[in-house]
Structure 1
Amino acid sequence: MKYVVILCDGMADEPLEELEGKTPLEAAHTPNMDRLAKTSEIGMVRTVPEGMAPGSDTANLSVIGYDPRKYYSGRSPLEALSIGAQMGEKDVSFRCNLVTLSEEEEAYEDRRILDHSSGEIPTEDAAVLIDALKKELERDGYRFYVGTSYRHLLIQKDGKVTELTAPHDILTKRIGEYLPEDPVLRDMMIRSYEILKDHPINVKRRQEGKNPANSAWFWGAGTRPALTSFEEKNRVKGAMISAVDLLKGIAVGAGMHNITVEGANGGLHTNYAGKGKAAVKALTEEGFDFVYVHIEAPDEMGHQGSAPDKIQAIESIDSQVIGPVADALKEAGVDFRMLVLPDHPTPVRVRTHVSDPVPYMLYDSTKEAAGKETYCERTGRETGVVIAEGYRMMDHLLGK
């Protein structure tokens, strides 16, 4: 038996008036999901434990089978694992987003976050901007590391974990109340605006009608994580396919293999088909028993507040990943179980994560379950099936 998870980041949503009371998942044309739904187990799963922040970090740890209450030590340390940044036991890492702030205000504190991703800035441009921050802001005990797109890292030697606000949680709000209390971090953020606002990269982005990456924003503080081996824990050899450093970092920490797909960028126009083909190859030719395919696009479109783009992302996943993977595995004569689900909802209306349970669909090529006509939030609730502790979903998928 082979196992595959198609993790559609942030896909779950709420009914929208502009979609005649449907969610983006309900409104999307998803013939492959609906085909599988007819013979699949469908239900709801709570991926974010009560009292914990609804992040992709806690939620994906749950889905991969690690109880966040036990294993979670912060988001950025997982990303540090992905990019090879070394952390001592007392070091603290911070996510360093390149964000777009409003520019008409006099004081930094009065500015507003317009875009947490700076228009999904390409990594090659972002690396130039991070290099500019390194030259001006690095000091003893603080080091910047380049990540992917707008997602980067700052590591503090012998630091202290402090509560910081995720930029996607305060879109359009005045930032003064959300700046770090730590004077060094606060000063770095203020100075980053002066360094970046008129950088040639940003001058060009404005000329092209794109959002400038005009400030650093620190959040997601944490210490070095310690995950147990996925293979030893589950007795299956696993691989991760993701364009996001967080997921790659979870894979590194769990001893899973990271598969890189050319053109996979975490955005709306990522290489969906390439991810699907890589998953099939891993399961049929490369000796892996389990593949986790993470697709960031629905989450990013939720943060952007765009229902049409979120629908497009969902339809692309259906047509270029879910359908082709299921069909290819069947044609190869492979028995498999496929789990399709979001990690958390990212409703278009609020443009940030929420901790509500999410719908899941579990398809088994060797069985015919009594399923539903469609897979969506509504049909997930209608079944009455609820997995209250998300980290137990992995055991359920593996038939333990």
Structure 2
Amino acid sequence: MKDDRLPIVLVILDGLGDRACPELGGRTPCEAADTPVLDRLVSQGMSAVHVPFGPGRATSSEFAHWSLFGFQRIAFPGRAAIEALGVGQSPPVATPLFHLALRAGEPRDGALWLGARARRGHDEADAAALFEALAGRTREGVRFELLALRTGECVLAAHGAGTRAVSDTDALFDHLHPWMRPTALADAPDEAAAHAFARTLEHWLLESREMLIAHPVNRRRQREGLVPLDVAVTKWASWIDPEAPCFQAHTGLRGGAVTDTALYRGLARLLDMRGADLAYDSRDPGGDMRTRLAMAGDLLADCDFVHVHVKATDEAGHTKRPAFKQAVIEAIDAGLEPLLSLADHAIVAVTGDHATPSVGALLHSGDPTPFVVAGPGVRADGIRSFGECHALGGAGGRLAADDVLPLLAGLSNQPFFLGHRPGARETIALPRAPEPMPVL
């Protein structure tokens, strides 16, 4: 028999899903958009709705991608670690890591509410000086180290803590919650260690607050009418397991990624995926998309699976302008045209990692996002248009995030054969190169 395995290209339009928008006649931006390329893919392929973790469950991009890549049963290392890898840092392994940011604090009603962030290009020198003052301190046997990320942001490494099982202090939803107290997680493997470190982190952050208030940089900022950056907030508790498998070892596929931000560069680096990075061109979403697909084509020379990430749809959703998100989707659709020819010899899929509503105040929501897959052997299911409501009638039904890669592996003629063990791991696809027996 011939080897008829096919390459896979998965295009993720970040935050593609949405909600019914009154100004679009009750349609989502995707349903309202004129998308002739995606409609052609839908006509020749199979549609589904992608609900990453079930109805109503809102997710971050990093959690969704971890499952989209088939790692849902492997402990998620945390976004702080991934971001550090994505900017070229080498964070310590087996050490608690946290994202730490400088914010302005506003005391109100017995709590501290979070205000302005450090501004790129305006506050770089001030933020660097403040971080320098916070770095290298030891509290209750834990040494805190800072690794630079961006203006006003760094990764906090807690050497000697032994656990990352503490909650965030960054409110994230800072219109609803104040600066929060770190607490031990209810499912902490070592409850005593988690409680002890939560108190240590609390003491370090409160001490940091005192130092930031008194720092000459913030005193000068107040004199000049600038907002002081006088509170440090933490989130995204992380831990890099040096024994965790890479993408190929876990999935059986040689992985590649066309990336656009530190998060996806870091994820590719963490999983040892072949990477190609391109800064997003917000002026030309269609041209940007076309360039990314060309880069994906180049990666296919050495990869079985290529992930292409596009940030534009998520950013459009966060503007809370449905018509703008519709226009961005239409521009991207034109740039997706190369997928039509690629689908002659590869399995190609397009979906979102989550919904970013362009109406209301939500950051992300648990609403579905449309999914389409096309390529040799994929049966057409009679759906003709791309969009959430159209996809509900597709033959693919309702997909969770961890269904996507097994589905694509099966359609590309390389599913893992249950009951057969060609190696130590039960991979998602049939392994590309299992270890051969030595020949005597």
Interval containing the TM-score (normalised by the shorter chain): 0.7 to 0.9
Residue in 2 that maps onto 1:280: 294
Shift in CA distance, 351/132, structure 1 to aligned 2, threshold 3 Å: farther
Distance 1:102 1:257, change over 3 A: same
Q: Deviations over 1:323-343 (max 9, x none)?
A: 2x315636xxx6011111111
What does 1:53-202 correspond to in 2, within 5 Å?
54-67=59-72, 69-82=73-86, 83-89=88-94, 91-97=95-101, 109-113=111-115, 128=125, 130-140=127-137, 141-147=143-149, 152-159=154-161, 160-161=163-164, 162-164=166-168, 167-168=171-172, 170-176=173-179, 178=180, 180=182, 182-188=202-208
Q: Is the 8 A contact 1:12 1:377 kept in 2?
A: yes
* Structure-2 residue corresponding to 1:18: 23
* Contiguous gaps of at least 5 residues in structure 2: 1-5, 138-142, 184-201, 416-440
Deviation of the 1:240 alpha carbon: 1.3
Higher fraction of helix: 1
Match of 1:298 in 2: 313
Contact 1:76/1:221 (<8 A) preserved: yes
Structure 1: unaligned runs, 5 residues or longer: none
* Structure-2-length-normalised TM-score: 0.71
> What is the rounded CA distance, in whole Å, between the counterparts of 1:193 and 1:303 in structure 2?
32
Deviation at 1:389, TM superposition (A): 4.1
Q: State the shift of 1:311 in Å.
A: 2.8
| RMSD between aligned residues | 3.8
**Equivalence for 1:310:** 325
Alignment counterpart, residue 237 of structure 1, candidates 221, 233, 254: 254
Deviation string for 1:10-35 (max 9, x for gaps)? 11111122322111222233222122
Q: TM-score, normalised by structure 1?
A: 0.78
Structure 1 residue 381: Cα displacement: 2.3
CA distance 1:398–1:22, change in 2 (3 Å)? same
The answer on 1:37 being equivalent to 2:42 is yes
Structure 2 residue matching 1:240: 3-state secondary structure: strand
Q: Is the CA contact 2:381–2:394 (under 8 Å) kept in the aligned structure 1?
A: no
Distance 1:72 1:102, change over 3 A: same
Cα distance in 2 between the residues matched to 1:193 and 1:298: 39
Quick one: percent identity of the two aligned structures?
21
Task: State the 1:259 CA deviation.
Answer: 0.9
Distance 1:20 1:366 in 2: 37
Q: Which digits, 9 at most, give the CA deviation of each residue in 1:333-384, with x for residues without a partner?
A: x601111111111223233123444331112155451242221111222337
Matched residue SS, 1:370: coil
Larger-Rg structure = 2
Q: Report the CA distance between 1:167 and its aligned residue.
A: 4.9
Give the 4+ runs in structure 1 shifted more than 6 A: 49-53, 105-108, 193-200, 211-215
Q: CA distance change for structure 1 residues 156 and 9 in 2, over 3 Å: closer, same or farther?
A: same
Indicate whether 1:347 and 2:357 are aligned. yes
